[in-house]
């Protein structure tokens, strides 16, 4: 039988097997796919080269707009065992989107390279396992891609995921889940790779406080193993002391870090902002001098923003709300990129109202994809505001929180995390 256009050659199949160390690339498998055969002169092979985008016209995950040559290229292949090679193609591949398979391939090949050459480990958060929570089915698993989008109705648990994951760096995010508010126990595990593979655990007993473990060993505080940046508002709070201190508090960092982040937005080649920097707030005519001075004697500072198109240079407070949103997103991205230099880092974006609907998707997709070259991104957004077609084109991994109907007077039924 002759090979159809888009099929892998035997050379490509061998290349994929070799790059995977002859192991299944699925993170929960990793079975060896070659070994001794029945006779001393034989080998047994149980691996296969699976397509990420299908070589068939109506195959799993579609063709992704690729040509036959691109479909047959090793970049479109992932090495699996025979069992999981069938799994990834079942039900049109809906349970294994292209972005997730590509992430797993890159992660597995980095692991094999580290084991064979001693290369530095890829910093990567692989999955979050919710063993016990008041919101989701027991042992629900969230596999993370470079960009992971979680949709659902209000109250489904999207914000809770960000709070639980973000708590590895900021325990204050657990205020509504601990102490007298801890009506239900919470246990979760975050599997990640840094210098090697690790598991960070968090548990909250009923009426208790959060407890953390790293590779099973109890920790007195959240271990410095994963970093996060949580962007949960569109605007700087109106009660901020000034732009500098307000942004430092907003991002949970010190003022010097915020200065560097603002400068880096312009220096990094941002296509929207030419420059950002802080200047003292000027004294308006008739105002007392103390109006521009903090109680500690330090001058109040304002963020000066210079844009490309239209070419404008004003304090942040002079711009519209949409520019405020873009500034915060740009600073969050630069901060996450900076943190990712030393630790696996997640940028958490609570995107309700941020502009992930169809009409403005292009404006935010580019910066987020650029950020994903350095760290991973989790976006939560109401499902009715998501442009799923474009997200598939960008290979963003998409989940929907499927929440059953709630019956008055009965406990809330657990929700399901469903890949889209």
pLDDT value for 2: 47
pLDDT value for 1: 46
Q: What is the DSSP letter of 17?
A: H
pLDDT value for 139: 96
Angle at 15 between CA 12 and CA 21, to 5 degrees: 145
Q: How far apart are the first and last CA of the chain?
A: 35
In the chain, CATH 3.40.50.300 covers 124-226+343-419
Residue of 239, 212, 241 whose CA lies nearest to 224 = 212
- The model carries a pTM of 0.88
**How far is Cα 50 from Cα 103, in angstroms, rounded to an integer?**
14
Q: What is the mean pLDDT of each run of 10 residues along the chain (420 residues)?
A: 79 95 91 91 91 90 91 95 91 87 90 80 89 96 94 90 94 91 92 91 94 95 93 87 94 94 88 92 90 93 92 92 88 94 93 62 83 93 76 90 86 90
pLDDT value for 246: 95
**How far is Cα 78 from Cα 75, in angstroms, rounded to an integer?**
8
**370, two tokens:** 């650029």
CA 111 to chain centre: 20
Q: Is domain 124-226+343-419 annotated with CATH 3.40.50.300?
A: yes
pLDDT value for 115: 82
CA neighbours within 13 Å on the CB side: how many for 283?
Answer: 10
Rounded to 5, what percent of the chain is helix, strand, coil? Answer: 35, 25, 40
């Amino acid at each position: 039988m002759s090979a159809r256009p888009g099929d892998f050659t035997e050379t490509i199949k061998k290349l994929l097997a070799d790059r995977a160390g002859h192991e299944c690339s699925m993170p929960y498998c990793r079975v060896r796919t070659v070994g001794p055969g029945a006779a001393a002169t034989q080998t047994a092979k149980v691996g296969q080269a699976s397509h990420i985008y299908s070589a068939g016209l109506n195959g799993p995950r579609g063709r992704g707009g690729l040509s036959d040559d691109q479909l047959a290229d090793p970049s479109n292949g992932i090495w699996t065992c025979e069992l999981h090679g069938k799994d990834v193609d079942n039900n049109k591949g809906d349970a294994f989107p292209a972005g997730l398979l590509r992430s797993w391939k890159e992660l597995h090949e980095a692991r094999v390279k580290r084991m064979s050459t001693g290369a530095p480990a890829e910093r990567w958060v692989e999955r979050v396992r919710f063993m016990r929570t008041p919101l989701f089915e027991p042992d629900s698993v969230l596999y993370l891609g470079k960009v992971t989008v979680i949709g659902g109705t209000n109250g489904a648990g999207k914000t809770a995921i960000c709070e639980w994951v973000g708590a590895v760096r900021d325990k204050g995010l657990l205020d509504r889940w601990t102490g007298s508010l801890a009506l239900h126990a919470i246990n979760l595990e975050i599997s990640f790779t840094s210098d090697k593979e690790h598991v960070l655990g968090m548990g909250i007993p009923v009426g208790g406080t959060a407890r953390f473990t790293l590779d099973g060993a109890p920790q007195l505080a959240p271990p410095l193993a994963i970093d996060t940046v949580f962007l949960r508002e569109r605007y700087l709070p109106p009660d901020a002391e000034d732009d500098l201190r307000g942004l430092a508090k907003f991002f949970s960092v010190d003022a010097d870090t915020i200065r560097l982040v603002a400068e880096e937005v312009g220096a990094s080649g941002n296509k929207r902002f030419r420059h950002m920097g802080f200047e003292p707030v000027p004294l308006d005519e008739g105002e007392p001098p103390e109006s521009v001075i903090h109680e500690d004697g330090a001058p109040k500072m304002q963020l000066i923003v210079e844009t490309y198109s239209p070419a404008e240079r004003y304090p942040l407070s002079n711009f519209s709300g949409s520019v405020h949103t873009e500034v915060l997103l740009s600073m969050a991205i630069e901060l996450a990129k900076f943190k990712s230099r030393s630790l696996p880092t997640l940028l958490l974006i609570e995107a309700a109202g941020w502009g992930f609907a169809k009409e403005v998707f292009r404006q935010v997709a580019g910066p987020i994809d650029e950020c994903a070259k350095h760290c991973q991104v989790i976006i939560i957004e109401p499902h009715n505001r998501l442009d799923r077609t474009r997200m598939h084109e960008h290979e963003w991994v998409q989940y929907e929180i499927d929440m059953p109907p709630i019956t008055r007077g009965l406990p809330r039924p657990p929700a399901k995390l469903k890949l889209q």
